[in-house]
Amino acid sequence: MRPYETDPTAIYAQSFAIVRSEARLDRFPATMRPVMTRLIHACGMVEVADRLAFSPQAAEIGHAALQAGAPVLCDCEMVGAGIIRRHLPSGNEVIVTLNDPNVPQLAQQIENTRSAAAVELWRDKLEGAVVAIGNAPTALFHLLELLDQGWPKPAVILGFPVGFVGAAESKAELAREPRGCDFITLRGRRGGSAIASAAVNALAAGLPEDV
């Protein structure tokens, strides 16, 4: 077997250097570049840079929210598992309500998925929060519906549902009308919990120039 790189610092440095050289991030605002680097690193696809949509202040607002102690609301356990706790600046709560025992009945009541029903349990935590959706289009759709009904607004919506039914549509709706929230999203079918977690980690770790 050929030798391979075993030094974690070298692996990160080489990875980020490849991302920078292939993804042409200098076309984006300086504050978004470290976030994009980490998103691309999480999925191994430099071409996602071409499909990212975001509000101009999303990186700063999201970082400030975490600094101020905002909770992180996740649509599934995988997103929560990918958030590096030691990077969170204020011991921020990471909340996943999907497996709350009330969710199955709530899903029946609202005639929607369990992922959508889980969002109903975010109400008391939503004001100023960081929302990270990495799996279910219906969670993002339903969040937008609840914001239209006047629910409290999160600081930033990291919208990365994935798949063939509703993912592209829910993310397009977020980018079209973010309901007064800042947002980062990836147009199209691609997304996923690793990307959503990476977005949180990027906001949490701050925006060092050397990443």
Question: Quick check: is 87 catalytic?
Answer: no
| Active-site residue, from 41, 63, 87, 142 | 41
CB of residue 201 to a copy of itself, shortest distance in Å: 12
- Which residues on adjacent β-strands are paired with residue 180? none
CB of residue 193 to a copy of itself, shortest distance in Å: 6
CA angle 136, 88, 176 (to 5 degrees): 40
| 3-state class (DSSP) for residue 11 | helix
Judged by CB, which is closer to a copy of itself: 8, or 124? 8
Residue whose structure tokens are 């400030």: 64
CB of residue 21 to a copy of itself, shortest distance in Å: 10
Summarize as ranges the residues that interact with a copy of itself (CB under 8 A).
1-2, 4-8, 11, 14-15, 18-19, 41-45, 76-78, 80-82, 111-114, 116, 137-138, 141, 144-145, 148, 162-167, 169-170, 173, 188-194, 197
Judged by CB, which is closer to a copy of itself: 3, or 208? 3
Judged by CB, which is closer to a copy of itself: 166, or 206? 166
β pairing state of 156-159 and 130-133: parallel
Query: What is the distance between the alpha carbons of residues 189 and 13, in angstroms, rounded to a whole number?
Result: 29
| CA 41, 46, 49, 52 torsion-angle sign | negative
Query: What is the distance between the alpha carbons of residues 33 and 49, in angstroms, rounded to a whole number?
Result: 10
* Residues marked as catalytic: 41
